Amino acid sequence: MEEVGEITVSVMTEEDIPDAVQIERMSCSTPWSEALFFGELKNPRSVSRAARLGRLLVGYLCANLVADEGHIHNLAVHPEFRRLGVASALIEDAISILRDGGARFIYLEVRDSNEAARQLYGRFGFEVIGMRKDYYQSPVEHAAIMLLKPGP
Ligand X SMILES: CC(C)(COP(=O)(O)OP(=O)(O)OC[C@H]1O[C@@H](n2cnc3c(N)ncnc32)[C@H](O)[C@@H]1OP(=O)(O)O)[C@@H](O)C(=O)NCCC(=O)NCCS
Contact residues: ligand X, CB under 6 A: 27-28, 75-77, 82-88, 110, 114-117, 119-120, 123
Rounded least distance, CB 122 to ligand X, Å? 8
The whole-angstrom separation of Cα 58 and Cα 23 is 8
116-139 in b/e form (b: 16+ CB < 10 A) is ebbebbeeeebeeeeeeeebbeee
Query: Which residue lies nearer to ligand X by CB, 44 or 83?
Result: 83
Rounded least distance, CB 81 to ligand X, Å? 7
Rounded least distance, CB 67 to ligand X, Å? 22
Query: Which residue lies nearer to ligand X by CB, 119 or 137?
Result: 119
- Which of the following is catalytic: 24, 60, 109, 136? 109
- Which of the following is catalytic: 107, 121, 135, 136? 121
Cα separation values, 57 from 11, 69, 72, 81, 144, Å:
12, 28, 19, 10, 28
Contact 120, 88 (CB under 8 A): yes
Rounded least distance, CB 51 to ligand X, Å? 8
**Catalytic residue check, 135:** no
Query: Which residue lies nearer to ligand X by CB, 44 or 106?
Result: 106
Query: Which residue lies nearer to ligand X by CB, 65 or 71?
Result: 71
**Catalytic residue check, 136:** no
CA angle in degrees (0–180, nearest 5) for 74-75-78 = 135
The whole-angstrom separation of Cα 43 and Cα 136 is 23
Q: Which residues are catalytic?
A: 109, 121
